[in-house]
Each structure stands twice: as structure tokens, then as C-alpha cells.
Amino acid sequence: MNITLELIAPLVDSVFMAHTAAGVVALTLTEAKELPRRGLPEQFRTPLSMIFAGPPELVLMDGNYTLDHEQLGQLELYLWPISAPLPARPSEVGKQCYQVSLS
């Protein structure tokens, strides 16, 4: 599936279920935005960044995870832990955040 901003932006604040070694973990998509192209040739997609927020008591290691979403089905994404972006959105306060970048 080719994930675009048009596809993912309406899903901000929705829950994705991540399959992890610790079991299934709910991650909320808190942000989706396109990144600057910085001279990237037109035949390549515009880079996309997504931020997810999850439970603070569990920090997932960076790696590939299968995420289930009721509208998108299953996605295979590479997540890595980050600090909450500043200023933190209400859905990110007290949560562990993760980023996904697609190019």
C-alpha cells in the first residue's frame, strides 16, 4: 500500500494496534505531515512523517512492526522511539512517542 498524506491525515487521532513481543499495543496516530522535498526528483514520493503515541510503561525498540487499523488493514512500518514533540499535543502528554518516516 502506498501511504500518502491524503490517505493518512484523516486518521490522525485514531488507534493502530501494533503487534509486539510484549503483545498487542495500542498506538494513537497524533501527527502526519509531509517533509520538505529538498531537491528530491519528481519521480520520488514526497517524504512523509507520522508520530504515534503509546503507553508510557512500555518502550518499543526500533524495528519493523505490523500495525492493524480498521480502515487500512495491516501495515508493516518501521518505528523508532522519540521524545514527544514540543509543544506536546494533549494526546502525547505522558505517553511514549514513536516516529515513522516514509520516503
Q: What is the pTM of this model?
A: 0.90
Is pLDDT at 93 greater than 90 in this prediction? no
Q: Are 101 and 82 in contact (CB under 8 A)?
A: no
d(CA 28, CA 11): 9
Residue percentage of the chain with pLDDT more than 90: 71
> What DSSP string runs through 38-84?
TT--TTSPPPEEEEEEE-TT--PPSEEEEEEETTTEEEEEEEEEEPP
pLDDT value, residue 84: 76
Is pLDDT at 44 greater than 90 in this prediction? no
pLDDT value, residue 99: 96
pLDDT value, residue 92: 81
Work out the average pLDDT over 49-55.
Answer: 96
Compute the CA torsion angle 3, 48, 24, 70 (nearest 10 deg).
-40
d(CA 28, CA 45): 24
Q: What pLDDT band is residue 63 in, cutting at 50, 70 and 90?
A: very high
pLDDT value, residue 54: 96
Query: Mean pLDDT across the chain, nearest whole number?
Result: 92
